[in-house]
Amino acid sequence: MIPPTQNRTHAPMPERIIIDTDPGHDDAFAILLALASPELDVLGITTVAGNVPVAVVTANARRIVELAGRPGIPVHQGAERPLLRDPMHAADIHGDTGIDGYDWPAPANPPEAEHALDFMVRTLTAAEPRSVTLVPLGPLTNIALLLRRAPHLSDRIRRIVLMGGGFFEGGNYAPAAEFNILVDPEAAAIVFGAGIELAAMPIDCTNNTLTPDWWIGRLAALGTRVGDACAGMQRFFEIAGNRKYGTRTRPLHDVLAMAYLLWPDLFAGRLCNVEIETNSELTRGATVVDWWYRTTRPHNCTWVRQCLDTPELYTRILARLATL
Ligand code: BDR
Ligand code: CA
């Protein structure tokens, strides 16, 4: 007879993640999706200057974890500027608060006193080999600083799943560069060259995975604070995107990186070489993807090119948000 303990089915261990982020409407959706997903164990949130200055995105991250009913998730503030370049923001798309569109209360609790880098070093030092996944959703400054300061800890990182880059779609903040890579291309070059398992969710995929027409109505119909906040943010984000890019609905870039982590079956991509252009004034921040294997350069990145079922993707995200 099988003893009762062996007869039980065990859910797989959740993937332990650190979200590095600059909320940001789509960052907010990504954080909420992660917090609503039992497959993920969010160890902490680190913030980086990006969509708006770092103090603002840090307060936003606190607002989001509190909205989700998870005030115990630690939020650690990180880099206030790129490695070498002047800061660049995207208030034209995200509003001055970074998450315009909802009447957010002030955070009830301050961020942690510990700097994001110290938090990552401490967490990885205590971790088993290949046991923590990093999910960067903004410029890669913090991750590059981590890899430079503590290269010996890269073996603790299971993988990096980031939102950034564009090749087939070109750029969204410069003709040849996507915002997250454009803001800190030197940091991106360090991360893409680190030899760590890496997947990139580029605008090649996100720009062709726009939110469906029914998205805002269904968010509002959730009848929860999370639903109200998401519907309000999305209304603002659509108007801003419409003005700038001429699309009616929006690519919710960062939430797709989190969705890829959860549901890789919904996406198609290819493991190949990706390099970052840091020198050219014309193409600074370009992600050069060797999609057709024209070189012998190392296959350092899974480039996610396509979502295979957009309605299913947003249905799954909505179902998760409904649990918060
Ligand atoms: C990326 O840039 C930011 O504006 C978004 O939050 C996303 O991370 C898309 O290019
Ligand atoms: Ca972002």
List per-residue pLDDT tens for the chain, 324 residues long.
444 444 456 678 999 999 999 999 999 999 999 999 999 999 999 999 999 999 999 999 999 999 999 999 999 999 999 999 999 999 888 889 999 999 999 999 999 999 999 999 999 999 999 999 999 999 999 999 999 999 999 999 999 999 999 999 999 999 999 999 999 999 999 999 999 999 999 999 999 999 999 999 999 999 999 999 999 999 998 887 787 778 778 899 999 999 999 999 999 999 999 999 999 999 999 999 999 999 999 999 999 999 999 999 999 999 999 999
Indicate which residue's Cα is closest to atom 2 of ligand 1: 179
CB atoms within 10 A of CB 32: 24
Q: Which of 19, 22, 97, 233 to mutate to test the pocket of ligand 1 (most atoms within 8 A of CB)?
A: 22
pLDDT at 127: 98
Q: Which of 54, 137, 204 to mutate to test the pocket of ligand 1 (most atoms within 8 A of CB)?
A: 137
pLDDT at 1: 41
**Pair of tokens at residue 54:** 């770092």
Q: How far is the CA of 5 from the centre of ligand 2 (A)?
A: 44
| Angstrom distance (rounded) from CA 26 to CA 279 | 29
User: For the CA atoms of the chain, what is the radius of gyration?
Assistant: 19
Total number of domains in the chain: 1
Q: How far is the CA of 138 from the centre of ligand 2 (A)?
A: 4
pLDDT at 8: 52
- The answer to whether residue 4 sits within a structural domain is no
Question: What DSSP string describes 41-72?
Answer: EEEEEEE-SSSS-HHHHHHHHHHHHHHTT-TT
Q: Residue 265's domain is classified under what CATH number?
A: 3.90.245.10
How many helices (H) and strands (E) the chain has is answered by: 13, 10
- The answer to whether residue 1 sits within a structural domain is no
- The answer to whether residue 86 sits within a structural domain is yes
- The answer to whether residue 5 sits within a structural domain is no
Instruction: Collapse the DSSP code of 181 into the 3-class scheme (helix H, G, I; strand E, B; otherwise coil) and give the result.
Output: helix
- The answer to whether residue 78 sits within a structural domain is yes
Which atom of ligand 1 is found nearest the CA of 179? Answer: 10
Binding pocket residue ranges, ligand 1, CB within 6 Å: 24, 26-27, 51, 90, 93, 137-138, 163, 172, 178-180, 253-254
Just list the catalytic residues. Answer: 253
- The answer to whether residue 3 sits within a structural domain is no
Q: Which domain holds residue 285?
A: 10-321
CB under 8 Å to 182, separation ≥6 — which residues?
88, 171, 173, 174, 284, 285
The beta-strand segments (E) located in the chain are 15-21, 40-47, 75-77, 132-136, 157-163, 198-201, 267-272, 274-276, 287-289, 301-307
Indicate which residue's Cα is closest to atom 6 of ligand 1: 24
